[in-house]
Amino acid sequence: MSTPKEVLSQKKLKAKEELSAAGFFKPLKIYVGSATCENAAGAKEIMKIFETQAGKKDCRDFYLSKKGCVGRCNLEPTVEVYEEGKKTVLYVKVNEKEAEKIIDKHIKVGK
């Protein structure tokens, strides 16, 4: 019989597959802070803006995900952009205009 540790390592492999299927290993990842506090500051709308960009022709493929609140209440909503080989960028106080800028800078092809 396998030990709980072994069972977990099996599950870890499965988790990797599941994440990969969800697109987690794409080179571009965007995290939108979405705890109650961030939602109150408007994170839900920001999330929608990014959602509508997914799959568009002139856009790079990216992985979009929620994350918890990092604790910067006065700077919410926050958006993190992970790009392979580049420094992670944290955008704060993101409004609709700012979100468009992020899309232009990181997501649009050829920028």
Partner 1 sequence: MPAMSVSEKFKKVFLDDKYSVGQERVALRNVGLIDPENIYDYIYNARGYQALAEVLTDMKPEDVVEAVKKSGLRGRGGAGFPTGMKWEFTAKEKSLEKYVVCNADEGDPGAFMDRSAIEGDPHSILEGMLIGGYAVGAQKGIVYIRAEYPLAVERLEKAFCAARKEGFLGENILGSDFSFDVEIRLGAGAFVCGEETALINSIEGKRGMPRPRPPFPASNGVFGKPTLVNNVETWANIGAIFLDGADSFAALGTEKSKGTKVFALAGKINNTGLFEVPMGTTLKEIVYEIGGGIPNGKKLKSVQTGGPSGGCLTEKFLETKIDYESLAAAGSIMGSGGMIVIDEDSCMVNIAKYFLEFTKSESCGKCVPCREGTTRIYETLTRITEGQGEEGDIEKLELLGEIIKKSSLCGLGQSAPNPLLSSIKNFRKEYEEHIYLKRCRAKVCEKLVDYVINDNCVGCGACRRVCPATAIDGTVKAKHYIYSAKCIKCARCFKTCKFNAVVKETGLPE
**Which amino acid would we find at residue 16?**
K
Q: Which is nearer to partner 1, 24 or 111 (CB)?
A: 24
Q: Looking at 46-54, 66-74, 95-103, which segment touches partner 1 (CB under 8 A)?
A: 66-74
Helices then strands, each counted (H, E), the chain: 4, 4
Instruction: Count CB atoms within 10 A of the CB of residue 30.
Output: 23
Q: Which of 26, 35, 49, 59 binds partner 1 (CB under 8 A)?
A: 35
Q: Looking at 47-55, 62-70, 97-105, which segment touches partner 1 (CB under 8 A)?
A: 62-70
Point out which residues pair with 65 in neighbouring strands: 31
Interaction between residue 37 and partner 1 (CB under 8 A):
yes
- Phi–psi pair at 27, nearest 5 degrees: -65, -20
Interaction between residue 66 and partner 1 (CB under 8 A):
yes
Distance (Å, whole) CA 85 – CA 103: 19
Strands (E), 17-83: 28-33, 63-67, 79-83
Could you tell me how many residues of this chain bind partner 1 (CB under 8 A)? 36
Q: Which residues in this chain contact partner 1 in the complex, by CB under 8 A?
A: 1-5, 7-8, 11-12, 14-16, 18-19, 22, 24, 31, 33, 35-37, 39, 65-75, 80, 88, 90
